Amino acid sequence: MRDKNIYDDTLANVNTYSRPSELRITDMRLTEMEGMPYPCIILKLYTNQGIVGFGEVRDMASKTYALMLKSRLLGENPCNIDMLFRRIKQFGYHGRQGGGVSGVEIALWDIAGKAYGIPVYQMLGGKFRDKVRIYCDTDADITEDRSEGQAMGLALKKRLEKGYTLLKMDLGIDLIKNVPGALSAPLGYFEEEANIYRRANELAPLAYDFSETADKNARKFRTSNDLEFLMDANSARYRASDWQKRLHPFTGIQVTELGLDYLENYVKEVRSVIGYEVPLAVDHLGHIGVEQIIRIANRIEKYNIAWLEDPIAWCYPAQWKRLAESTTIPICSGEDFYLAESFRPLLENGGLGIVHPDPLTLGGILETKKLGDMAQSYGARMVLHQAASPIHAMAAAHIGTATENFWGCEFHANDIPWWSDMVKNSPLQNPIIQNGFITVPDAPGLGINELNEDMIKQHESVRNPGVFEPTDEWNHEYSVDSIWN
């Protein structure tokens, strides 16, 4: 009897439903949420043993990027992460197009960790740290009696009061588009830009227009069967997309001395509020040529800037080298790069001092870990782009825990009170971010046992509704995927 009790007690602590060698993928389902603050696509991979893996498609991307991979995964063992990644990686690309492959890869790691009962960071080689530093993008808290620079400084100071130890703000041409004489461009350029975006948002709103009017227009677009209207709407939307994709050297926008004075004073006012001890990075300089970025950098480097983020188009390595040699501010980029090898040209020529991948574009968890190790061999640090849900954040946290040259992870949802509540019945802290850090638990997979689907339903996308609905129409997708004869 005693032996039977010991057997029963032991069996109660064994994960008997998990037989990793017999695991098979049975389904994929997705939900698009809004208000995170960006649209986020949550992914579930299901298995024949009841284990569910959580992943996420890049913010403001398309479910299709993941769904087109479903038939290529059905029936496979999700623990064969690298094999499956190599099968599907040809279907990813830079920017949002990397979101499907990356989201699936993260879900595979989550399943494997749950199947073997170990956290993702342990499968990557173990810890360099117990918690990861978080920094958050910040909007200015503008009132009538403060200048914009002072307002941004006060907003950043509130972040410091919450425990954040690394700060970032936007600084670029968007700040000075309405300042007379601050920018030089072909006459009518900015009016044409405004008209292109206005027409798109009237007919088929862009993903980053969150207004109620845009939601109303988006519903009309989604439910319309009027071919003439749909042709006009899609044309307007993708003309706006084409405008947005115009690369930095080709816009011809220049910053005048008045504009440079404005931007320098803005940074000076921010530093007057937050001091000089805390690192301060800058982002969203705008689509302007390398010469203009150099002029801005030379004006603001005296204010101890932690890095310049995504200052020029990543596809021109010689320009990155020129920029890095023209300023003492570290140059940082990478949120739209797909695959670690994409960084090598900019690391080899010294154009990057900090790599800044988004795991939801780069290719997922292992590819980001590989990049961190590669960057370290070139003397570069790694910070992570993260602008989505707790799934994305925990994937980034496991990478940061397991990567020696990791320095910080981005966060966009500091002012979203329900963000942490998307996860339930899990060993994570609530809130997940405390005093500017995420503590990574010693729990299987990502550390997320269950999602709060009632809350997810409350924040379901009004433009692309549906909460983890069946996707059987993708079960038969097939093509000859070989890329050579």
d(CA 80, CA 47): 13
Residue 481 lies in a domain: no
**Same domain for 113 and 132?**
no
Phi-psi region of 278 (alpha: psi -120 to 50; beta: other; left: phi over 0): beta
Residue 220 lies in a domain: yes
pLDDT per residue, tens digit, the chain (485 aa), is 555 565 455 445 545 456 999 999 999 999 999 988 889 999 999 999 999 999 999 999 999 999 999 999 999 999 999 999 999 999 999 999 999 999 999 999 999 999 999 999 999 999 999 999 999 888 765 554 557 899 999 999 999 999 999 999 999 999 999 999 999 999 999 999 999 999 999 999 887 777 778 888 888 888 899 999 999 999 999 999 999 999 999 999 999 999 999 999 999 999 999 999 999 999 999 999 999 999 999 999 999 999 999 999 989 999 999 999 999 999 999 999 999 999 999 999 999 999 999 999 999 999 999 999 999 999 999 999 999 999 999 999 999 999 999 999 999 999 999 999 999 999 999 999 999 999 999 999 999 999 999 999 999 998 889 999 999 999 999 999 998 87
Show which of 220, 248, 276 is a domain's final residue. 248
Show which of 248, 270, 289 is a domain's final residue. 248
21: CB partners within 8 A, 6+ apart: 77
Residue 299 lies in a domain: yes
d(CA 128, CA 321): 31
**Same domain for 244 and 333?**
no
**Same domain for 263 and 351?**
yes
**Same domain for 222 and 260?**
no
What is the domain-level CATH number for residue 85? 3.30.390.10
What is the domain-level CATH number for residue 401? 3.20.20.120
Residue indicated by tokens 């700060």? 167
**Same domain for 229 and 345?**
no
Show which of 194, 228, 248 is a domain's final residue. 248
Residue 457 lies in a domain: no
**Same domain for 234 and 164?**
no
Residue 6 lies in a domain: no
**Same domain for 281 and 194?**
no
Structural domain range at position 378: 123-179+254-452
**Same domain for 292 and 383?**
yes
Collapse the DSSP code of 24 into the 3-class scheme (helix H, G, I; strand E, B; otherwise coil) and give the result. coil
- The residue length of the chain stands at 485
d(CA 236, CA 198): 9
**Same domain for 281 and 141?**
yes
How many CA atoms are closer than 13 Å to the CA of 7, on its beta-carbon side?
4
**Same domain for 165 and 311?**
yes
Residue 346 lies in a domain: yes
Residue 140 lies in a domain: yes
**Same domain for 352 and 270?**
yes
How many CA atoms are closer than 13 Å to the CA of 67, on its beta-carbon side?
18
Residue 483 lies in a domain: no
**Same domain for 287 and 416?**
yes
**Number of folded domains that form the chain:** 3
